[in-house]
Amino acid sequence: MNVFTLVRNQVVEAIEAEVAAGGLPADLKLDAITAEPPRDASHGDISTNAAMVLAKPAQMKPRDVAEKIVARLADADGIVSADIAGPGFINLRLEPSVWQGVVSDVLKAGVAYGDSDLGQDVPVNVEYVSANPTGPLHVGHARGAVFGDALAALLAKAGYAVTKEFYVNDAGAQVDSLARALHFRYLEALGKKSAADFTAAAAAGEVEYAGDYLKDAASALSKRDGEKWVDAPIEDWLVPLRQFAIDSMMDMIRDDLASLGISQDRFTSERALVDAGQVDRAIADLEKQGLVYTGVLEPPKGKKPDDWEPRPQMLFKATEFGDDIDRPFQKSDGSWTYFASDVAYHRDKFDRGFAEMIDVWGADHGGYVKRMQAGVKALSANKGSLDVKICQLVKLFDNGKPVAMSKRAGTFVTLRDLIDAVGKDVVRFIMLTRKNDAPLDFDFAKVTEKSRDNPVFYVQYAHARIYSVFRHAADVLPGQDLSEASLAKADLSLCSDAYELAVMRTVASWPRIIDAAALAHEPHRIAFYLYDLAAQLHALWNRGNEDAEMRFLLPDQPDRSMARLALVRSVAVVIASGLDVFGVEPVKEMR
């Protein structure tokens, strides 16, 4: 159990003792009580809001409640002092031994330090990437891919049973367009069409997907089927070539994801859901609930499109579940809308046991959130929840100059291009240095420079520095057992400097960071935490350069050296634990 949880438990015990003594009323709800670092470190080690949240239900002033709690905490184990600040916050200072004990805990647990049972093994479905199977992934997909993968790892570390999923949008008109582009490239591969013919067709709008990435698929098709489809009518080749194109593109997408260190547990086909009648069943179920009706929607807000005309449509009562307007389930030709298919897909997730669902979407889907959340509430009888995380755009630069992207023109920067330029680990870490709903600038030069302004370098450098200390320790302390098991037994009371204790407090915050980030679905908090921890390690290193007595290795003080080695090893363990959540390999030596 982490320090902050232990202290919170002590606060709760103090309140319960005061209730038993009649100083506070019974039946107080204690769920909202927190124990966390104060905003200003000079105020103490841990601050609790207990008096503030209990004052109103206790019908007392916050300071009066605080005085009762403080009196009970005076003799609590590990607490040096308890002071009341402002209107009633309680600031606590702990014995150094409390923080020193954390180092041993970390060394004994290894990278599992920070694992929790917060999630109670509750199933959670995290769907991310879900790019249309019409080409390789580009840099715009990278952010959602990394965010979704890190969020899934974070939730798993926090004790949830996570399934990582990719929804294959293979039932729309775009895959028919892909099939037509493949057929043209197939004819080109057989010499029946020229590259100039293809360029002209693309310019005329006859071919939508003009990128070179279809050439390999066309070559494979020509080798498999020969001239079978050269003179065949479109009704004969559209379906088989469509499936061939989808399979080829999905193989490419899986390879792209693998290059980023991502493997998903399940790929669900939209077409398979439609063909299995899942959409029909989902809509029928909503009709039984009285949530589907025939109506006429108002024209879109703003300028009314020239081709808009009022017409009766099958509508879902999305407004009963928090949406702004009711939403159509069918197009004018009678086919299902994308929304209808998506409702059926999320119904399928719920039926598979996922009451908690997380979807990671691109910036262009922001207007789709409310209707989808309304659909999930309706199809699950309000038992399911959907959290949609929107990933804003990544602006790509090369030495400060913007790099343009255009997927359909075939001139976009692919995810593989990005990885080849800077490496998988840099891509993954940098994509998590901003909150998902904030734009992110990615400059090839800046993300590879060796400075504290480059967070991935700064964190990795801290980890590598620690390993350099241990390489040197083998010479300074010959014959000394430097294993984590041995270091866990070091006398940490010899690490009592304010800088050393500050590092311990930050290390002790790791389990709390995991739980908070998991609850908020915000993996970027880990990047901020790792940067702060790295900064403290670098500061401790620099103190040794300024004051010889503060060096990690003191040949004439082996016990103090072992204690400091235990401290910095605990930092390395936590950095490795955080990088593991990010899917980044911690380096032991900088090149």
State what percent of residues in the chain have pLDDT above 90. 84
Alpha helices in 74-172 (DSSP H): 96-109, 139-157
Domain C-terminal end among 94, 111, 146: 94
Count of alpha carbons within 13 Å of 419, Cβ hemisphere only?
Answer: 20
> What pLDDT is stored for residue 465 in this prediction?
97
Residue 110 lies in a domain: no
3-state DSSP percent of the chain in helix, strand and coil, to 5: 55, 15, 35
Query: CA–CA separation, 467 vs 203, rounded Å?
Result: 57
Strands 385-391 and 327-328: unpaired
Collect all residues with Cβ–Cβ distance below 8 Å to 41 and sequence separation of at least 6. 502
Residue 503 lies in a domain: yes
Residue 227 lies in a domain: no
> What pLDDT is stored for residue 306 in this prediction?
62
> What pLDDT is stored for residue 419 in this prediction?
94
Candidate from 44-53, 337-346, 412-421 with smallest mean pLDDT: 412-421
> What pLDDT is stored for residue 74 in this prediction?
86
Residue 355 lies in a domain: no
Query: CA–CA separation, 401 vs 395, rounded Å?
Result: 10
Q: What's 33's domain CATH number?
A: 3.30.1360.70
Residue 572 lies in a domain: yes
Task: Dig out the tokens for 206 from the structure.
Answer: 């006859």
Residue 551 lies in a domain: yes
Surface-to-core class of residue 253, CB atoms within 10 Å of its CB (0-12 exposed, 13-18 middle, 19+ buried): buried
> What pLDDT is stored for residue 405 in this prediction?
52
Which pLDDT tens digit goes with each residue over 173-230? Answer: 999 999 999 999 999 999 999 989 988 988 888 888 888 889 999 999 999 999 999 9
Task: Dig out the tokens for 42 from the structure.
Answer: 């000079």
User: How many C-beta neighbours within 10 Å does residue 115 have?
Assistant: 15
For 9-39, the DSSP string reads: HHHHHHHHHHHHTTSS-SS---TT--EE--S
Domain C-terminal end among 94, 112, 127: 94
Which pLDDT tens digit goes with each residue over 490-509? Answer: 999 999 999 999 999 999 99
What interhelical angle do 558-582 and 96-109 show, nearest 10?
Answer: 60
Count of alpha carbons within 13 Å of 200, Cβ hemisphere only?
Answer: 6
Contact 406, 135 (CB under 8 A): no
Which residue in the block uniquely carries the two structure tokens 């490239």? 185
Encode 489-516: b = buried (16+ Cβ within 10 Å), e = exposed.
ebebebbeeeebbebbbbbbbbbbbbbb
> What pLDDT is stored for residue 407 in this prediction?
44
CA dihedral 470, 474, 478, 482 (to 10 degrees): 40
Length of the chain: 591
> What pLDDT is stored for residue 203 in this prediction?
87
Task: Dig out the tokens for 256 from the structure.
Answer: 């792209």
Residue 500 lies in a domain: yes
CA distances 97 to 1, 393, 504, 531, 551, Å, are 16, 47, 10, 25, 21
Domain C-terminal end among 40, 68, 94: 94
Residue type, 53: V
Collect all residues with Cβ–Cβ distance below 8 Å to 234 and sequence separation of at least 6. 180, 183
Query: CA–CA separation, 435 vs 432, rounded Å?
Result: 7
Q: What's 577's domain CATH number?
A: 1.10.730.10
Which pLDDT tens digit goes with each residue over 519-564? Answer: 999 999 999 999 999 999 999 999 999 999 999 999 999 999 999 9
Phi and psi, residue 137, nearest 5°? -70, 140
Which pLDDT tens digit goes with each residue over 139-171? Answer: 889 999 999 999 999 999 999 999 999 999 999
* 292 sits in which H/E element: strand 292-295
**If DSSP codes are grouped into helix, strand and coil, which group holds residue 47?**
strand
How many domains does one find in the chain? 2
Query: CA–CA separation, 120 vs 248, rounded Å?
Result: 39
Contact 92, 46 (CB under 8 A): yes
pLDDT class for 406, splitting at 50, 70, 90? very low
What interhelical angle do 498-508 and 96-109 show, nearest 10?
Answer: 50
Which pLDDT tens digit goes with each residue over 268-309? Answer: 999 999 999 999 999 999 999 999 999 998 877 766 666 667
Residue 563 lies in a domain: yes
What is the domain extent for residue 25?
3-94
Contact 33, 53 (CB under 8 A): yes
Count of alpha carbons within 13 Å of 8, Cβ hemisphere only?
Answer: 15
Q: Does residue 409 register a pLDDT over 50?
A: no
**If DSSP codes are grouped into helix, strand and coil, which group holds residue 118?**
coil
**If DSSP codes are grouped into helix, strand and coil, which group holds residue 181?**
helix
Residue among 208, 129, 213, 128 nearest 172 (CA): 208
Query: CA–CA separation, 63 vs 553, rounded Å?
Result: 48
